[in-house]
Amino acid sequence: MEAYRNNINTFCSSFVFFGLLVLFMSTMPITDAKVHYHDFVVQATPVKRLCKTRSTITVNGMYPGPTLEVNNGDTLVVNVVNRARYNVTIHWHGVRQIRTGWSDGPEFVTQCPIRPGGSYTYRFTIQGQEGTLWWHAHSSWLRATVYGALIIRPKEGDSYPFAKPKRETALLLGEWWNADPIAVVRQATRTGAAPNVSDAYTINGQPGDLYNCSSKDTIIVPVDSGETNLLRVVNSALNQELFFKVANHKLTVVGADASYVKPFTTSVLMLGPGQTTDVLITADQPPARYYIAARAYASAQGAPFDNTTTTAILEYKSAPCPAKGATIKPLMPTMPAFNDTATATSFTTSFRSPRQVPVPTNIDHNLFFTVGLGLKNCPPGASRSSCQGPNGTRFTASMNNVSFVLPSNFSLLQAHQQGIPGVFTRDFPANPPVKFDYTGNVSRALWQPVPGTKLYPLKYGETVQVVLQGTSIFTAENHPIHLHGYDFYIIAEGFGNFNPSTDTAKFNLVDPPLRNTASVPVGGWTVIRFVADNPGVWLMHCHLDVHIGWGLATAFLVENGVGELQTLEAPPADLPLC
């Protein structure tokens, strides 16, 4: 159920040319924002996939959860009631949360979790964002099934920067485990080994024709010949980057992460978890049925992954019907190889902003963060069963050799706002503590990061550049890095070790894309820039959930500026207690 609260502007005019006035008022766009109210009930629901039924954590009994549709400038008020047996929070992925950090959602970062039987109301306004975002649980592995689309259209009276599509379809790519995902990650935590990979990928919660017991529920996307539609593609998968294709059809990319981009045409998308891509697709092929398919881009050499393919069907309404009892299989796209880094790179480097943008140039904080995995030795006295990683170790991960540890008694934002000591420190290193050949053969002495809850402090309005340098500690891998509370410009990416003497020449300071999640290429680096104009504590982490659980994260602490508009709002009265 959704209620709207409208504030309609009044017009002051004379009575001269009354007929023209009536005509003017009838064509005047209504640009006032609305307030959208939603109730989210987090609950266990029986869900059947791959021939098996299991109790699944959902929102309002839906998997995936509800799609929220708003306009730029609207406000969302979402009351979340937790009737599940696990703690939960909801993160509004990519929403800037200007001064409303208490509604961002990551567990123990901006709030304590909503306990079973508890509730919390998220309140925030969409400011200057249009396109596709999404929401998901940000507590343990609950987001495996607790997620949904957040569609942001232009303000009423405004239009898309492209011809209005005939229809729009959100396609959320996900992962499905036959086991309870919470049990999967808890087993991995106990053993120190990598968690079991998923049993299927999904499109809008359905695995598709290539899996057992799945064909009758395959998602159908209907089209009319000649029409152009908008597909809003979201990678909601927990731990896997994905290639995406539609058989025999080209895709024109027009947006990503709720920002418009300079349109470009491609036959394949590659999305890391957390990323969204808006594409136009024209039904210009012979009327038939065509598979929409997604499968893994797995860049970590030798690491196990789910090597299956999920499908939906693009179905022309005028496609011939098969004879009774006969079946006509849809046409299948030729998918890239699972390790096709060249195709992934060609896609990620094609993004540009539609016009020149105000990239920060005078940098106050020039940061260099290593991003990668590690192994830690089995603690003295620990059992073998708790150290089942390679050679009797436990998996870990870090940024700048710090493996991030969440607090448990306070959220970081609460501790900062109330001045509670001992919860975190402000000394996250601006550079790696030891310089080394990041993408070469790394000494085992560098494989063991130090656990800590270290934040990097910023003053309001300071400009920041971060070089995100992938490492080959244990293995090199593509990492989708997400920054909460901000969009940032991706000004360059490349392979090998970042070299400031030569690689700065590659910086795009004219029309780089604006994103909230960046792919750090396997064995390579990415450079981002942003202005610290949103006070609060903002998590930066790998969006492969297995990696954030191992500690591949940090957080920026952005101080208040001057005056109310540069100050974090007061915490709401119903903020959950730890």
Strand-pairing partners, residue 52, are 49
Q: Compute the residue count for the chain.
A: 578
Asked if 352 and 261 touch (Cβ cutoff 8 Å), the reply is: yes
Instruction: Give percent of the chain with pLDDT exceeding 70.
Output: 94
Question: What is the pLDDT, as a whole number, of residue 328?
Answer: 83
Q: β-pairing, 365-377 with 463-470? A: parallel
pLDDT (mean) for 426-447: 92
**For 139-151, how does the pLDDT look when each residue is reduced to its tens digit (9 = 90+)?**
999 999 999 999 9
Query: What is the chain's mean pLDDT, rounded?
Result: 94
pLDDT of residue 268 exceeding 60, the answer is yes
Burial 493-531 (b: 16+ CB within 10 A, else e): bbebbbeeeebeeebbeebbbbbbbbbbbbbbbbbbbbb
pLDDT of residue 27 exceeding 70, the answer is no
State the Cα–Cα distance between residues 137 and 116, nearest whole angstrom.
14
**For 185-214, how does the pLDDT look when each residue is reduced to its tens digit (9 = 90+)?**
999 999 999 999 999 999 999 999 999 999
pLDDT of residue 68 exceeding 90, the answer is yes
User: Which single residue is written with the structure tokens 């960046």?
Assistant: 518
88 DSSP assignment: B
Selection from 107, 130, 147, 132 nearest residue 232 by Cα: 132
CA angle 20, 24, 27 (to 5 degrees): 140
State the Cα–Cα distance between residues 116 and 118, nearest whole angstrom.
5
Query: In whole angstroms, what separates CA 43 from the centre of its chain?
Result: 23
Selection from 146, 166, 144 nearest residue 221 by Cα: 166
**For 69-92, how does the pLDDT look when each residue is reduced to its tens digit (9 = 90+)?**
999 999 999 999 999 999 999 999
Helix, strand or coil for residue 355? coil
Q: What region, left, alpha or beta, does residue 495 occupy, with left being phi > 0 and alpha being psi -120 to 50 degrees?
A: beta
Selection from 391, 361, 362, 365 nearest residue 378 by Cα: 391
**For 547-565, how does the pLDDT look when each residue is reduced to its tens digit (9 = 90+)?**
999 999 999 999 999 999 9
**For 363-417, how does the pLDDT look when each residue is reduced to its tens digit (9 = 90+)?**
999 999 999 999 999 999 899 999 999 999 999 999 999 999 999 999 999 999 9
**For 317-369, how does the pLDDT look when each residue is reduced to its tens digit (9 = 90+)?**
988 777 666 678 999 999 999 999 999 999 999 999 999 999 999 999 999 99
pLDDT of residue 15 exceeding 80, the answer is no
pLDDT of residue 300 exceeding 90, the answer is yes
Strand-pairing partners, residue 403, are 451
Residue 309: CA count within 13 A, CB half-sphere: 19
Residue 460: CA count within 13 A, CB half-sphere: 15
pLDDT of residue 163 exceeding 50, the answer is yes
pLDDT (mean) for 496-508: 97
State the Cα–Cα distance between residues 40 and 16, nearest whole angstrom.
51
